[in-house]
Amino acid sequence: MLIKICGLRDNYADVVALKPDFAGLIFYQKSPRFVELSQEPVLKQKLTDVKKVGVFVNADKDYILDKVSEYNLDLVQLHGNESPELCAEIRKSLLVIKAFGISSESDLQSAEKYAQYVDYLLFDTKTKGYGGSGVKFDWHMLQNVNISQKFLLSGGISLDDLEYIKALKINNLVGVDLNSCFEDTPGLKNIEKLKQALNILRK
């Protein structure tokens, strides 16, 4: 199962040393995990063992591509109301994850319209903000809708949920996105909890 740890900033180097599959940096100014609040040069270094994901919310294409270059990003995650056309355009140069807030099966059906334009979908809990809420949605809905693209599960996932998620029999569920339940403060991850999570998911 793929493991994405998102909202990295204040102890970034310690987290990437654990070698998750994806390390997420948030480029959304209203997020308490906004990566540009830090001036640490290590955040911009190219990684070899971990794929760096830049998370954007309703940003324009030029800003996204500037940050891809500046921070040596491998993937882009679009977490706002971006169009399929923008997804397809960015996908010409790098992998794209499209995130959706979910509260009903109709949200999942709307997400399916993007399946052909992206490399992964990501399903988070629908809130007034854009992720990082620490709240779960009803994962059983995923068993009622055919999702034709690979997707990551997000939204309030904690250590107590990981064995359950591993046992889910849902087509194209390929990974999890860990964030708020694995940090001490926004942008500062709890390394011991993350070590436990990786052990559970990889055993």
Q: Which residues are catalytic?
A: 6, 124
Cα 182 from Cα 77, distance rounded (Å): 20
**For residues 193 and 182, is the Cβ–Cβ distance under 8 A?**
yes
CA 37 to chain centre: 19
> Is the sign of the CA dihedral 83, 180, 75, 151 positive or negative?
negative
For residue 137 the two structure tokens come to 């949605």
* Spatial CA neighbour of 98 closest among 87, 88, 108: 87
Indicate the length of the chain as a whole number: 203
Cα 160 from Cα 158, distance rounded (Å): 5
Residue 67 backbone dihedrals phi, psi, to 5 degrees: -75, -30
Distances 70 to 7, 94, 103, 161 between C-alpha atoms, Å: 18, 15, 35, 35
CA 91 to chain centre: 16
